[in-house]
Amino acid sequence: MKKIVSFFGEKNAVFERLNARAKEHAEKRGLEYKWAPQTPFNQQDVIEELKNADAGIIDIEPYGEDIFKEIYKSCKILTRFGVGYDKVDLKAASKYNIAVARTAGANTVGVAEMAMMLMLSAQRQLKKNMRFVSEGNWVKEVTHEITGSTVGIVGFGAIGQYVAKLLKGFDCNIIASDPYPNLKAAEELNVKMVSLEELFKASDTITVHAPYMKETHNLINLELIKTMKPSAVIVNTSRGNIINEADLYEALSQNIIAGAALDVFAVEPLPLDSPLLKLDNIILTPHTSSQTEESLWRIYEMAIDITADFFEGKESKHILNPDYKTQE
């Protein structure tokens, strides 16, 4: 029986429950399952676990040649618990014939719902209004509704498309920007594909769902933000480095735009000296978009299924480095 070890999660009741369920599912797929949570991450412990396993479920920490060269004789596939894989050296993994996969799509609902919550909260200036109540300052901030407004979606993949689906109930004018647009999905969801520049100028609310890569690093900067409507807000549940945080701070502190909401940051946890924490017109949450029990379970289930399919010799669209099997 092939063995899979998972490093994701914390030792608490929720993850105890999820991993008991994951173990049961793994056994049904013919896999021995072990949970070895890494909080905090210890690279040597990870190496020792993977030396004695055929597969691993990994978190956001860096995985490079220093790990691959130690585990390749036993471990044949690593699956990222989530979507982002920018900290995994795919070229080095292929060099050591290790397949790398990700659980794309499993957290779609959780992230999309969080984006919706943050869009509504940013537009209604939730942080500022909560402060008014706590201070006994019964000010009534006049804000804007999302219903009937223009919402721009940056990145029209699975999550962006689900956000569009949720927005249909708000009778919004939905526009989206993506360098590789899914025109069929756009037509089905009544979404107009536009350039990034047009999206920023036209939107009342912008929500970011683009992948992080070299091309999207600091994609959203002060120059682009200045083209937004003064009443507009921007939300990011994707990756922190897509928005230049210093530029966003300048825009918010000078009231160039009305507000923002971030669930992701360039450095996580967000440093306590970050100027963003001083602002009243921004909502900050600790990268919690996919942290619903339903989304977490779908990720566990998909990671196990990807691994089982791999050892059964099935082709998988989730493998990020298909050249792993062509290396010497």
Residues designated catalytic: 239, 268, 287
Instruction: Write the Ramachandran bin of 252: left for phi over 0, alpha for psi from -120 to 50, otherwise beta.
Output: alpha
* Contact yes or no for 208/263 (Cβ under 8 A): no
Q: Where are the beta strands (DSSP E) in 246-289?
A: 259-262, 282-284
CA 271 to chain CA mean position, Å: 20
d(CA 245, CA 252): 10
d(CA 244, CA 316): 35
State how beta strands 77-80 and 150-154 pair. Answer: unpaired
State how beta strands 259-262 and 233-236 pair. Answer: parallel
DSSP string, 102-132: E-TTTTHHHHHHHHHHHHHHHHTTHHHHHHH
